[in-house]
Amino acid sequence: MRSWSVVGVLVVAGLALAGCTGSGPNTAAPAANRGPVHVLYAGSLVNVMERAIGPKFAAASGFQYQGEGGGSDALANEIKGKVKQADVFISASPATNSTLEGAANGKEVSWFATFASSPLVIGYNPNGKFAADLKSKPWQQVLAEPGFRLGRTDPTTDPKGKLAVQALDQNGLSKLAADQAEVFPETELVGRLQSGQLDAGFFYSAEATPDKIPTIAVSPQSLAANYTVTVLDNAPDQAGAVAFVNYLLGHDGTSALTANGFRLTSPPKVSGAANAVPAALHPQIPAS
């Protein structure tokens, strides 16, 4: 039985296309009750997944779509613990996939493909009392000012939280890195910033772009999300999972990613057992 606390949307479409690639018109006959394709994804993808890729995949393919965002590591733990069952898993860090590989981890993942990236940035409230300082002073100095409200995610459950701690530690702000009062769920950070509850927060640039959140570059510049996708080995709907990944990595999916500020990895880089990549995905994920 699937256990789901759905944060995404459920979109039902009536056109069928088993190997949806996200390009060209769909002329297939209608089909009912296909899917839903369950996609667990890094919370930083919520905008592009729920506003663009998920609904458009459903409309183009005839599969229902059901998505849920959260911290990548937390989602991986729930998959491994059989708390959640999914067809597709999208993480913000290649390292997360290793926790799902092998017999000891339930043999959930045999391969994964890195398909996009987004650098870590500081997004700030342009109407906040520290906005002028963030524009004119080093961010390391401003974040340490009394009363500054900074938000970040939990480093134990989310790769972005780990990167934020790394950025703070490397810039002499270890005290801030240890402050658990600044930790919030990934899906709440944008809302908290926009409502004025936070002066700034750590985001990926692709999160800030669609909501027009002003940002400041974070040093070192190499700190970034590297997004991976895989069809889970125990996916209940393998055909739907393959159709979704084909759409995500096809023309329409990658166009949506680019429009939302993601940097594409082209072609996607396969890790793990390359020979386990379904043959139907080879047009989007070339066999090595």
CATH number of the domain where residue 62 is located: 3.40.190.10
Q: Which residue matches tokens 């009912």?
A: 32
Residues 112 and 124 in one domain: no
User: Is residue 287 in a domain?
Assistant: no
Give the distance, in angstroms, between the CA of residue 127 and the centroid of all CA atoms in the same chain. Answer: 28
What tens digit of pLDDT does each residue of 56-95 get? 999 999 999 999 999 999 999 999 999 999 999 999 999 9
Residues 110 and 230 in one domain: yes
- What angle separates helix 54-61 from helix 238-249, to the nearest 10 degrees? 110
Region of residue 51 (phi > 0: left; psi between -120 and 50: alpha; otherwise: beta): alpha
Residues 102 and 229 in one domain: yes
Residues 145 and 92 in one domain: no
Specify the pLDDT at position 210.
Answer: 86
Domain finish residue from 182, 217, 252: 217
What tens digit of pLDDT does each residue of 165-215 get? 999 999 999 999 998 888 999 889 999 999 999 999 999 999 998 889 999
What tens digit of pLDDT does each residue of 33-60 get? 488 999 999 999 999 999 999 999 999 9
Domain finish residue from 168, 197, 217: 217
- Segments forming the whole domain that contains residue 53: 10-117+224-281
Work out whether strand 215-217 and strand 200-204 pair parallel, antiparallel, or are unpaired.
unpaired
User: Is residue 4 in a domain?
Assistant: no
Structure tokens at 8: 């995404």
Residue type, 222: S
Residue type, 38: H
Residues 132 and 61 in one domain: no
User: Is residue 180 in a domain?
Assistant: yes
Q: pLDDT band for position 241 (50/70/90)? A: very high
Residues 26 and 98 in one domain: yes
Secondary structure of residue 87 in the 3-state scheme: coil
Residues 198 and 152 in one domain: yes
Residues 146 and 199 in one domain: yes
Say if residue 112's pLDDT is above 80: yes
Residues 213 and 140 in one domain: yes
Work out whether strand 65-70 and strand 10-11 pair parallel, antiparallel, or are unpaired.
antiparallel
Residues 211 and 263 in one domain: no
Q: How many domains does the chain have?
A: 2
